[in-house]
Amino acid sequence: MWLFVKDAFLSIVKYAEDPTALLVRARIKGDIERIFATAAVTETSHADYRFRAVIPREEVARAIAEEARKINYTNFKDSVKEEDRHDAYMNCWSIMWRLQEQRLKQM
């Protein structure tokens, strides 16, 4: 699962060593801690996601629900205040918009 929030981007996948936990990954230092304040984050320079933390599944579920409860904007893109993060998110938005248009043409 990819999770884009206004101040963090996370990749969340199963943790092979413990089915009760998930592996939360980030590309940007501090993104995991913005959502999981007490996470024990490790840095791995040889992996595609440099920052990682193993977090119990239930804690991940609660944090995602809390992020949904905190939504106070009518336009997600406008809520992203970091210029470089905004630009990266816009690139993702543009690619997904193009996919939408491509699929509409196939209908």
Please state, rounded to an integer, the average pLDDT across all residues of the chain.
97
**SS3 state at 55:** strand
**What are the residue boundaries of the structural domains of the chain, listed by start?**
1-72, 73-107
**What residue has token string 């230092």?**
29
What pLDDT shows up at residue 62? 98
Amino acid identity of 105? K
What pLDDT shows up at residue 67? 97
Interval 34-44: pLDDT, tens: 999 999 999 99
Interval 57-77: pLDDT, tens: 999 999 999 999 999 999 999
Query: 73, 79 in Cβ contact below 8 A?
Result: yes
What pLDDT shows up at residue 101? 97
Q: What is the rounded distance in angstroms from the CA atom of residue 68 to the CA atom of residue 29?
A: 22
